[in-house]
Amino acid sequence: MIKQLLFGRYLVEKGLITMDSVISARLMQRTRNHMIGKLALEKGWLTDEQVQRILIIQEDLPMRFGEIAVYEKLLTKD
């Protein structure tokens, strides 16, 4: 399970937010994360599969999309 959801569950258990709020926040976060991936797709720099792979990795690591793409040797820093 991802850290964000675990923290979200903690907040739910403390009665500070609802699980629906956790899910909505994660969906919003995913939508924003796709922005860089969408650009990379439109430019032909990455395939959809590569973008999805990066987003999955990003859920478990405190790294930005571009950092993961470079680390995975899918993009260069340039």
**pTM (two decimals):** 0.55
Look at residue 53 and tell me if it is in a domain.
yes
Quote the pLDDT of residue 33. 58
> What's the pLDDT tens digit per position in 4-44?
446 778 778 888 888 888 788 777 777 765 577 887 888 89
Range of the domain at 52: 3-71
The encoded tokens of residue 26 equal 């994660």
Residue 44 Ramachandran class (φ > 0 left, ψ -120 to 50 alpha, else beta): left
Quote the pLDDT of residue 4. 47
How many folded domains does the chain comprise?
Answer: 1
What's the mean pLDDT when you consider all of the chain? 81
Look at residue 35 and tell me if it is in a domain.
yes
> What's the pLDDT tens digit per position in 63-72?
888 899 999 9
Q: Give the count of alpha carbons within 13 A of 15, CB side only.
A: 0
Look at residue 76 and tell me if it is in a domain.
no
Say whether pLDDT at 49 is over 90.
Answer: yes
